[in-house]
């Protein structure tokens, strides 16, 4: 199983704080059946700054620690990038990590309570240069929760979306869980990732999430999401589900 979104790197953001935290998270990930885990610390969100060169070094160091302990988990380099007006410039400066080595897909986080007015313009330029934004946890954004159809213009552009596992399991409350289910029922969420931060409040719930997803979309939806995660790591083209507007 591939998990595209985690905060397992120690001491870089609000995820794992110590190496011991990271090792405990690695063991938990393995117990969930995760074989490949993307390390995606927050970047440029006003509090944390984790440019590409720093993450590459940190991932190599943590992978070495896992290997020395015989923990069978392959770490991948990535970022959870906060959307700003300066994203395109940051990409040109090679500060941004994509999910794949061809620089095709990148995980982008919106502010919790708004959709930036420049979002569509930035995405338009990204897509024009062959780079596909992946909006992470849209079900947790206040605007999308209030009106899920606000997500459709982004889907029409070619943007992808990533559901956070705890959302569909109910960890973030019934309102977010309801929104996640509605978005899944209308094929607005294309893949799922853990967004694990620790083992106390924000742990890996990939198995549980896929069980809930299967209840909504069947085994076909589960397999499609797993394939899309693989495609994003490999930089391959993806097959998008046919989304529907909510009435």
- Are the C-beta atoms of residues 145 and 171 closer than 8 Å to each other? no
Residue 38 structure tokens: 């993307």
CA angle 108, 11, 167 (to 5 degrees): 45
**Half-sphere exposure (Cβ direction) of 225: Cα atoms closer than 13 Å:** 31
Nearest one of 34, 54, 57, 49 to 81, comparing CA atoms:
49
Nearest one of 162, 100, 164, 85 to 131, comparing CA atoms:
100
- Render pLDDT for 17-30 as a digit per residue (tens, 0 to 9): 999 999 999 999 99
CA distances from 15 to 5, 194, 203 (A): 12, 12, 10
Provide the 3-class DSSP secondary structure of residue 197.
Answer: coil
Residue 247 pLDDT > 90: no
Provide the 3-class DSSP secondary structure of residue 152.
Answer: helix
Task: Please report which confidence band the pLDDT of residue 201 belongs to, taking 50, 70 and 90 as the band edges.
Answer: confident
pTM given for the model: 0.96
Q: What is the mean pLDDT of residues 23-42?
A: 98
The structural architecture, per CATH, of the domain 2-234 is: Alpha-Beta Barrel (3.20)
Which are the contacts of 156, defined by CB distance < 8 A and separation ≥ 6?
Answer: none
Q: What is the mean pLDDT of residues 205-224?
A: 98
How confident is the model at residue 155, as a pLDDT?
98
How many Å apart are CA 25 and CA 203, to the nearest integer?
A: 8
Q: Where are the domains of the chain?
A: 2-234
- Render pLDDT for 118-168 as a digit per residue (tens, 0 to 9): 999 999 999 999 999 999 999 999 999 999 999 999 999 999 999 999 999
Provide the 3-class DSSP secondary structure of residue 160.
Answer: strand
Q: What is the mean pLDDT of residues 105-117?
A: 97
Counting residues of the chain whose pLDDT is more than 70, the rounded percentage is: 100
- Render pLDDT for 131-144 as a digit per residue (tens, 0 to 9): 999 999 999 999 99
């Amino acid at each position: 199983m591939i998990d595209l979104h985690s905060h397992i790197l120690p001491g870089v953001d609000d995820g794992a704080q110590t190496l011991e935290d990271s090792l405990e998270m690695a063991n938990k990930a393995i117990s969930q059946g995760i074989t490949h885990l993307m390390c995606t610390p927050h970047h440029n969100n006003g509090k944390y700054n984790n440019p590409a060169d720093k993450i590459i070094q940190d991932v190599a160091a943590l992978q070495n620690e896992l290997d020395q302990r015989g923990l069978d988990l392959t770490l991948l380099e990535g970022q959870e990038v906060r959307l700003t007006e300066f994203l395109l410039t940051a990409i040109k400066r090679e500060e941004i990590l994509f999910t794949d080595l061809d620089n095709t897909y990148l995980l982008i986080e919106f502010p919790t309570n708004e959709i930036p007015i420049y979002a569509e313009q930035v995405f338009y330029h990204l897509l024009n240069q062959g780079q596909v934004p992946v909006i992470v946890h849209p079900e947790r954004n206040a605007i999308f929760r209030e009106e899920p159809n606000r997500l459709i213009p982004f889907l029409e552009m070619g943007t992808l979306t990533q559901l956070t596992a705890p959302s569909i399991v109910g960890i973030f409350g019934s309102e977010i869980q309801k929104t996640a289910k509605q978005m899944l029922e209308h094929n607005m969420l294309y893949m799922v990732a853990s967004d694990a931060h620790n083992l106390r409040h924000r742990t890996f719930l990939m198995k549980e999430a896929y069980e809930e997803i299967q209840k909504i979309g069947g085994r076909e939806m589960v397999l499609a999401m797993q394939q899309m995660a693989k495609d994003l790591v490999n930089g391959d083209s993806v097959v998008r589900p046919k989304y529907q507007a909510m009435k």
